[in-house]
Amino acid sequence: MMALLIALILALTRLVASKAVFAHYMVGSMTSTEASQDITDAIAAGFDGFALNTHTISDTDTWNTDAITYLLDAASGTPFKMFLSFDMSWNLDVSGLGSFLAKFSNHSQYYTTSDGRPWVSTYSGGSSVSNDQWDTEFVQPLVAQGVKPYFVPDFDDWAGYPTGFFDSFPVVDGAFSWESAWPDSGVANVSDSVDESLIEQAHAVGKIYMMRPSPSPLHPFLVWAGSDWYRIGETNLPERIAQILSLQPDFVEVITWNDAGESHYIGNFWPEQIAGTSQGSYANGYNHSGWQQVIKPFIAAYKTGATDIAQIESRSGSPEGAMWYRPLLTSASCASTITNYQQAKDAVNFAVILPSSDTPYTIEVYSNNNLVGKFSGVEGLNYESVPGLQAGGGQSIRVLDGSGNVVKTANGTKDVLNESADASMCNWNYEVVGLS
Ligand SMILES: *[C@@H]1O[C@H](CO)[C@@H](O)[C@H](O)[C@H]1NC(C)=O
Ligand SMILES: *[C@@H]1O[C@H](CO)[C@@H](O)[C@H](O)[C@H]1NC(C)=O
Ligand SMILES: *[C@@H]1O[C@H](CO)[C@@H](O)[C@H](O)[C@H]1NC(C)=O
Ligand SMILES: *[C@@H]1O[C@H](CO)[C@@H](O)[C@H](O)[C@H]1NC(C)=O
Ligand SMILES: *[C@@H]1O[C@H](CO)[C@@H](O)[C@H](O)[C@H]1NC(C)=O
């Protein structure tokens, strides 16, 4: 009886939080105009907020504090909110995080729980910092000032993860996992077993779990960078979407809005943010906003409690979605410089949301103007990774209605090459095109 009562109270506590979907945002130097554009675009794409990945807490890095302020201010008057996500891979001083947070946590656009606790997250920090240190150096000093953070870190660098996570880290209010957004290297589909375990563990103790979808398991592939690697998962985004709908986590954070250094960005990245890096050489001109056409209907479905991709609805009443491919074949001689390149596939990939229809839609896939795949569509989200990507132009998908009329297309703007046109680079970033 007591156990039942406790379970009920825990369940009610959790219900206080309503589902929200964030995008991971790499804070970098920017203007207030660019900040406004990002907020406008992210709202239009269906997001509730950004997790602001901050790799410095130094007062002298005004580019950082300015950018955070621009973003928060730009959202004023909207329901869009943000929280800080401390990038602990930069060895930030734990005892300095609280005073940095306090600079922003009173802002009207800072994301809080319904009882006013400011959310805080991390990338990493589970192995370098102990539970006690988080508690005594970060949480308690803030509590002493009347600010009780709601702490939802990514501690998947902790050696025992995810077994017994909340016993080992009682300091947290919730968890999320970075690495589980992608498959392990090797030929495997992305797994949701870590997420499933943590959802179960979190709910058993009245805490929350935030799950992450990510469109692409790729890092960029620069010959000179020396640390480039590939992870299988051409259809990682729709696969994760299916897992999230089925597991119903409390929150979702899409990786990422603007990490131009890795190929999983779905929004704008700005020149100042990547100045002084080589990221522009492989990300400029590779516009990934087409993925937003897949994510927006997913967000709506997640919030209404859909548990299956068949329940994802087209928002416009006509087909929505995107196609994507890499404009350089895996047989290119530079490929062998990429770790795990053997797992890569030459494919045209798509994720298309179809409305209900008496006669089925058909999705046709072309490479080098040759039909390489043809699929009868079903209501909701359809996705495939279609092998047979060929060098040349004419990379496209067409969606035909039941009468055979082409109602939507996505035409690649980049030819597929046999060999890299730039000897210094093996660029496997995706060409992503939304349906129109
Ligand atoms: C921020 O919130 C804290 C805790 O409620 C309060 O003590 C402090 O005065 C506020 N600071 C500002 C600048 O409003
Ligand atoms: C991955 O999942 C797809 C179905 O979504 C299946 O066809 C394929 O065989 C799976 N791949 C592996 C390696 O398990
Ligand atoms: C990317 O494409 C979208 C949709 O066509 C467009 O609105 C946006 O301005 C483009 N971004 C860049 C940086 O070209
Ligand atoms: C790519 O290589 C194939 C096989 O060697 C060749 O037939 C084809 O013409 C090449 N295509 C381009 C666009 O270079
Ligand atoms: C894609 O290409 C086809 C064939 O050239 C054309 O009919 C269609 O209008 C194009 N779609 C878009 C969105 O430009």
The predicted-structure confidence for 312-325, as pLDDT tens digits, reads as follows 999 999 999 999 99
Distance CA 332, CA 419 (A): 5
Ligand 5 atom closest to the Cα of residue 435 is: 13
- For ligand 2, whether the C-beta of 189 sits within 6 Å is yes
Query: Are 147 and 105 contacting, i.e. CB atoms less than 8 angstroms apart?
Result: yes
> Among residues 361, 354, 286, which one has the least CA distance to residue 325?
286
Distance (angstroms) between ligand 3 centre and the Cα of 119 equals 31
Gap from CA of 428 to ligand 4 centroid (Å): 18
Q: What is the pLDDT of residues 134-151, one digit of tens each?
A: 999 999 999 999 999 999
Mean pLDDT of 204-217: 85
Torsion angle of the four alpha carbons 344, 326, 252, 30, in this order, in degrees rounded to the nearest 10 = 130
Give CA 107 to chain center in angstroms.
Answer: 25
- Is residue 11 pLDDT above 80, yes or no? no
Closest CA to 120 of 105, 136, 140, 99: 105
Indicate the average pLDDT of the chain.
91
One fold for 14-311 and 320-434: no
- Of 274, 279, 287, the one to substitute when testing ligand 3's pocket (max ligand atoms within 8 A of C-beta) is 287
Ligand 2 centroid distance, CA of 217 (Å): 16
C-beta of 436 in contact with ligand 5 (< 6 A): yes
* Whether pLDDT at 67 is above 60: yes
| Residue carrying the six token digits 């498959």 | 183
> Ligand 4: which of 328, 418, 419, 420 to mutate, most ligand atoms within 8 Å of CB?
418
The pLDDT assigned to 195 comes to 93
Pick from 279, 189, 291, 285: nearest CA to 231: 189
184 within ligand 2 shell (Cβ under 6 A): no
Fold of 14-311: TIM Barrel (3.20.20)
Ligand nearest to the CA of 146: 1
* Domain topology for 320-434: Immunoglobulin-like (2.60.40)
Task: Report the nearest atom of ligand 2 relative to the CA of 235.
Answer: 5
Q: With pLDDT > 90 as the criterion, what percentage of the chain qualifies?
A: 78
Phi, psi at 292, each rounded to 5°: -65, -25
**Where are the chain's structural domains?**
14-311, 320-434
Q: Looking at ligand 2, which atom is closest to the CA of residue 188?
A: 13
* Ligand 5 centroid from CA 436, angstroms: 9
Cα 285 to averaged position of ligand 3 atoms, centre (Å) = 9
Q: Residue 10 pLDDT > 80, yes or no?
A: no
* pLDDT above 50 (res 225): no
**Residues belonging to the chain:** 436
Six token digits for residue 220: 């960029």
pLDDT one-digit tens code per residue, 260-291:
988 889 999 999 999 998 889 889 999 999 99
d(CA 247, CA 261): 30
Alpha-carbon distance 108 to 49, whole Å? 13
The alpha carbon of 227 and the centre of ligand 4 are apart by a number of angstroms equal to: 29
pLDDT band at 212 (very low <50, low <70, confident <90, very high): confident
Ligand 5 pocket check for 409: Cβ under 6 Å = yes
Whole-Å CA distances, 257 to 130, 270, 353: 30, 11, 21
| 267: nearest Cα among 29, 427, 48, 43 | 43
- When pLDDT is averaged across residues 237-245 and rounded to a whole number, the result is 94
Q: How far is the CA of 390 from the centre of ligand 4 (A)?
A: 8
Query: What is residue 27's predicted lDDT score, i.e. its pLDDT?
Result: 98
CA 326 to ligand 5 center in whole angstroms: 20
3-class DSSP assignment, residue 350: strand
319-355 in b/e form (b: 16+ CB < 10 A) is bbbbbbbbbbbbebebbebbbebebbbbbbbbbbbbb
pLDDT at position 54, please? 98
pLDDT of amino acid 424: 81
Residue from 182, 184, 187, 189 to probe ligand 2 pocket by mutation (most atoms less than 8 Å from CB): 189
More confident residue, 185 or 86: 86
Q: Is 187 in the pocket of ligand 2 (CB under 6 A)?
A: yes
Per-residue confidence band for 222, with pLDDT thresholds at 50, 70 and 90: very low
Check pocket membership of 248 for ligand 5, CB cut-off 6 A.
Answer: no
Ligand 5 pocket member 168 (CB < 6 A): no
Q: Is the dihedral of CA 235, 241, 247, 251 positive or negative?
A: positive
Residue 221: what pLDDT? 44
Q: How confident is the model over 101-132, as pLDDT tens digits?
A: 999 999 999 999 999 999 999 999 999 999 99
Residue 231 has pLDDT above 80, yes or no: no
Strand order through the sheet with 362-367: 370-376, 362-367, 396-400, 406-411
How much is the pLDDT for 3?
56
- The residue behind tokens 């480039």 is 228
* Percent of the chain with pLDDT strictly greater than 70: 92
Q: Work out the pLDDT band at 249, boundaries 50, 70, 90.
A: very high
